[in-house]
Structures are given as structure tokens and as C-alpha cells.
Amino acid sequence: MLDANVLVDFQAADLSLLTLASRHIGKVHIISSVLQEVEGLDETDCLRLGLHVVEPTLDQALEAAMSGRQLSFEDRLCLVVCRDNGWTCVSNDKALRKSCKDSGISVLWGLQLILELVHGGHLPAHEAVEAAERIHRTNPYISTPILESFRKKIAILVKRTG
């Protein structure tokens, strides 16, 4: 399941990367209220891209609304829906990632999803680096050291696969 910050990053990089992820890594889910946080992307776009928009249950929404206040409602909802469905949470939000880990929910950084595509042979390394660079230019939290670490990981993958 993607949270809004990862959706925005992939929107800046290339949304078709999410289509590749959905085809080759696993279904990509987005909660409808999280999708509403992202300008310029709607359910029709998600359907075209092969992404699955989900509606939380009333119980899930109530639990998220009643939970602690260190996370936004949408982040709490992501945690609850991931927990209930056994899904991985893909987020760059440190507080959400920590809460997911504390709840036994697996997590991935947004750039890790791109690494998985390269590792699986579904995305050329140079395209992965270009996507990461576009994300870096639009997201100040994807710092130069994070981008350099990503490039090193890509280089290691390229060496292994030769």
C-alpha cells in the first residue's frame, strides 16, 4: 500500500513505474482518502495504471480516528488497513514507518520499490537512476546523500547481474 508522499514522488518520476511494480512485485493498493490528497491523480488514472484503490471499512476508519495523534488520520488509516490485510506499507514518512514496524507491518521506502524493479530485471538501471533523480529534484527529503546511496545500490545490482 502506498501512502501519499510516495504517490507524489512517483508522480514526479514516472507513474508507469507503479504499473511495473503492480505487475512484477505485487498488487499496489491506495486508500481512496489517501488518493484524494494527491493533486492530478484520480481513480480513473489508477485503474489505467493497474493500481487498486481500496475503501477502508467503517471499523478501520473508526479505529484510525480514535488512535493516537502522532500520525495523521490518513497515516493511521494506512497502518490499520496494511495490518488488517497483511500488506507492506510503502512510505517515506519516518513516523508512519516506525509505527508500522512497531505493529509488525513490513515497510519499504519509495526508492526501495524502484530497486526491487531493477533487481527483478523489470527496469533498466539507468531508468531507475533517472527516476530517482527526478524524485530528488522535487522532494527535498530525498537528499543528495539518499540519492548517492541509491546510485551505489544500483551500481552493486548492475555488477551482480553483469
Residues 17 and 94 in one domain: yes
Given 92, 110, 128, the domain boundary residue is 110
Residues 90, 3: Cα–Cα separation, whole Å = 6
Residues 18 and 52 in one domain: yes
Given 93, 110, 127, the domain boundary residue is 110
Which pLDDT score is estimated for 68?
73
3-state SS assignment for residue 39: coil
Which pLDDT score is estimated for 40?
94
How many domains in the chain? 2
Residues 97 and 33 in one domain: yes
Contacts of 158 (CB under 8 A, 6+ apart): 125
Residues 146 and 81 in one domain: no
Which pLDDT score is estimated for 161?
76
Given 74, 95, 110, the domain boundary residue is 110
Residues 13 and 52 in one domain: yes
Q: Which domain holds residue 23?
A: 4-110
Contacts of 44 (CB under 8 A, 6+ apart): none
Residues 96 and 30 in one domain: yes
Residues 8 and 61 in one domain: yes
pLDDT digit string (tens) for the chain, length 162 residues:
999 999 999 999 999 999 999 999 999 999 999 999 999 999 999 999 999 999 999 999 999 999 777 899 999 999 999 999 999 999 999 999 999 999 999 999 999 999 999 999 999 999 999 999 999 999 999 999 999 999 999 999 999 876
Which pLDDT score is estimated for 77?
96
Residues 105 and 34 in one domain: yes
Q: What is the CATH number of the domain that holds 26?
A: 3.40.50.1010
Residues 96 and 122 in one domain: no
42-48 long-range Cβ contacts below 8 angstroms, 24+ apart: 45/15
